[in-house]
Amino acid sequence: MEEIQTIQKDSKAEIKVKKSKFIAEAFYVETVSQAEELIKQIKKREHSAKHHCYAYRIIEDNLIQKAEDNGEPSGTAGNPMLSILQGRQLINVLVVVTRYFGGILLGTGGLVKAYSEATTNALEYASIKKQQKVVEVSFQTEYSELETLKHYINQMRW
């Protein structure tokens, strides 16, 4: 069985940088459609915010990763957030950082730092847990072959 790391609970963290407010929310998700729905809900709830940047890593049939800067300069929000998820080897996690612009430009370095810090803080509150990836298998065999089948199953590394 394969072990993955994910978050134990949804969480939220907020930081302020030069009058801009960054609200980071981390969620446990199992599908891309679930992640996309949460993103829509946050955009609707926080409709007056300037940016809703996000990153996720989800295993459906295979690993799906996505990052979005949502109007911030390319590579300053979504990719740094995704890098944190990758570095912590987190799976089935969505992080959305909502930014209320405070009127002061932060520059590319300042944006990377702010989005990274907000993401890290939200993940700290979420608590990391290990989870077993389960594979369900069924076999059908003649009774006379049962002991042979048991032998092969016991030798397999799942």
Query: Which range is least confidently modeled, 12-16, 86-90, 107-111, 152-156?
Result: 152-156
Inter-residue contact 101 to 50 (CB < 8 Å): yes
Maximum distance among all Cα pairs of the chain, rounded to whole angstroms? 77
Domains of the chain, start order: 2-155 (3.30.230.30)
pLDDT at 132: 58
CA angle (95 as vertex; 91, 98 as ends), nearest 5: 175
pLDDT at 143: 79
Cα separation, 103 vs 151, whole angstroms: 68
SS3 107: helix
Cα separation, 13 vs 130, whole angstroms: 22
pTM: 0.79
| pLDDT above 60 for 146 | yes
pLDDT at 1: 45
